[in-house]
């Protein structure tokens, strides 16, 4: 069974702090996506990483794909209350099947 | 653009009742999916479809059925509702051009009592 483990499960920080969320697996993925989900809504795509070692930046968010394409991290600089939400990593296992991690619930206090 | 539309938003069922969750997309995506999301468990794939007339089981298909008569619609049917089916259900679609990026609906919260 392929698993994606996310850590931490829950994170509560003050506005302005930095944080990193991790996504790990023993499986190799052809691509990996990060989604953000707000209460009562479906997940919305933040980024897709495809190449081992790839780093992508989206304003204050930095995403990295591990060299072996088994893990990824999401780093947020100077977190804001608007960053509050559930962050999900999702790995594409080949073809079109996608498996999801359990998510990291982030709360940023003003 | 509506994207992926799910109905109903909320539903309460009694054990043994049946119902259909509706899903429609207007992006002409070939691939459609049904996931369920339970607290702390992530999203689990129930069924998927690669095109009209073609469906297949995902990770947790028991107790559910699907059909795909058109590109746009992918309904999920629960025949005999059980408390274990209490969950939030998400329909998604994708184009599968390069990496498989999913577009999700807003979800349907189902409670079985």
How far out from the chain centre does Cα A37 lie? 11
The answer to whether residue B67 scores a pLDDT higher than 90 is yes
Shortest CB distance from A42 goes to which of B94, B99, B104?
Answer: B104
pLDDT < 70 regions, chain A = 1-2, 94-96
Is the Cβ–Cβ distance between B4 and B72 less than 8 Å?
no
* Mean pLDDT in residue range B90-101: 82
Pure H helices in B1-113 = none
Q: Which positions in chain A touch B31 (Cβ < 8 Å)?
A: 96
* Mean pLDDT in residue range B28-35: 94
Do the chains contact at B99 and A33, CB–CB below 8 Å?
Answer: yes
3-state helix, strand, coil in chain B (%, to 5): 5, 50, 45
In sequence order, the 6+-apart residues with CB closer than 8 A to the CB of A54 are A64, A65
Facing residues of A108 across strands? A13
Facing residues of A105 across strands? A10, A86
Q: What is the pLDDT of residue B2?
A: 79
Q: What is the pLDDT of residue A97?
A: 75
């Amino acid at each position: 069974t392929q698993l994606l483990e996310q850590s931490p499960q829950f994170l509560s920080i003050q506005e302005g702090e930095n944080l990193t969320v991790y996504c790990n697996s023993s499986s190799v993925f052809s691509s990996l996506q990060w989604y953000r989900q707000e209460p009562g809504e479906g997940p919305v795509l933040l980024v897709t990483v495809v190449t081992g070692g790839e780093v992508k930046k989206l304003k204050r968010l930095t995403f990295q794909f591990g060299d072996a394409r088994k893990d990824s991290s999401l780093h947020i600089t100077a977190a804001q209350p608007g960053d509050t939400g559930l962050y999900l990593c999702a790995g594409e296992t080949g073809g079109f099947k996608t498996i999801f991690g359990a998510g990291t619930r982030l709360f940023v206090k003003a | 653009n509506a994207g992926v539309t799910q109905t109903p938003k909320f539903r309460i069922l009694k054990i043994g009742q049946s119902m259909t969750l509706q899903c429609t997309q207007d992006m002409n995506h070939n691939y459609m999916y049904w996931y369920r999301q339970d607290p702390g468990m992530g999203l689990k794939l129930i069924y998927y479809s690669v095109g009209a007339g073609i469906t297949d089981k995902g990770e947790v298909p028991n107790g559910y059925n699907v059909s795909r008569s058109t590109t746009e619609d992918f309904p999920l049917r629960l025949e005999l509702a059980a408390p274990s089916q209490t969950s939030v259900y998400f329909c998604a679609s994708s184009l599968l051009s390069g990496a498989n990026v999913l577009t999700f609906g807003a979800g349907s919260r189902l409670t079985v009592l």
